[in-house]
Amino acid sequence: MRIAVVAPSNQLSREAAAKVEALVRERGDSELFVHPQCFLSAGHFAGTDDQRLQALREVMADPAIDAIWFARGGYGSNRIAEAAARDFPDTARSKLFMGYSDTGFLLAAFHKAGLRVAHGPMPQDSLRKGGEQAVSRALDWLVRRDSSALEPRLQPPAMAFNLTVLSKLLGTVLEPEFAGVELLIEEVSEHHYRIDRLMFHITSNPNVRRVARIRLGRASDIPENDPPFAHDEQAIVADWCRRSGIELGEPADIGHDSANRVVPFGRFAD
């Protein structure tokens, strides 16, 4: 299997790239191509919008590439997602796309367009504590479709998003169909009052109200609120699910951490 890494948002660190390349060589079950675009810099982004889009479309068109692995999150994939999902080459239909966090914009757009996508760890995660295990888990799924890499209690069809990304894509051309979907959510570095506001917006959406259930993953690195908000993330999500008539499922094993699990979108599982 040949896996291409592109950076639709922020720049991939060379240290992370080197760690992942070494791991792939040690495994010996795949070949990794880290696109030079991953190391470009245009202010906040890994190159200009045009450069990031061009690199993505290049690997989408390459028949020798079996999977496209988004390098990292940050911010920026929404700026190219609509264009990337429009008039894509037929070769893209045979590929698997993986990422999470900000790249949820692309996962939503590509899934809506009929491509195979999965939420899962990315190369930049190699720099986290326990990052090698996270990257290995992603490769286990990309290369071997190892079911042990999956979120263990999935009830497909499923989707997984960062809460802020999900809120921001609702009402846009990227918004997928949620009817009957098990929707997994996670968050990082947001105050509890902001999580509450995000849940108000998300559960007010008529499309989201058609999900089978919502399952909350980990909300990490939550700043202290002054005064205390009085409700934690579990209570917040439970409250808005109750208000909107959405079933609240059991906790999900996803998050901005090395324990993050793979969630294939839809019914795709092999």
Segments in the chain forming alpha helices (H): 14-27, 49-61, 78-84, 104-112, 131-144, 163-169, 192-203, 233-244
Structural tokens at position 150:
């999956």
Residues 221 and 257: beta-carbon distance below 8 Å: no
**What is the C-alpha to C-alpha distance for residues 195 and 186, in angstroms, rounded to an integer?**
10
With tokens 């324990």, the residue in question is: 259
For 33-47, letters b (16+ CB in 10 Å) and e give bbbebbbbeeeebbb
What global pTM score does this model have? 0.97
Provide DSSP, 18-83. HHHHHHHHHH-S-EEEE-GGGG--BTTBSS-HHHHHHHHHHHHH-TT--EEEE---SS-THHHHHH
What single letter denotes the amino acid at residue 260?
N
Residues 224 and 186: beta-carbon distance below 8 Å: no
Return per-residue pLDDT of the chain as tens, 270 residues.
999 999 999 999 999 999 999 999 999 999 999 999 999 999 999 999 999 999 999 999 999 999 999 999 999 999 999 999 999 999 999 999 999 999 999 999 999 999 999 999 999 999 999 999 999 999 999 999 999 999 999 999 999 999 999 999 999 999 999 999 999 999 999 999 999 999 999 999 999 999 999 999 999 999 998 899 999 999 999 999 999 999 999 999 999 999 999 999 998 654
Residues 45 and 73: beta-carbon distance below 8 Å: no
Residues 241 and 203: beta-carbon distance below 8 Å: yes
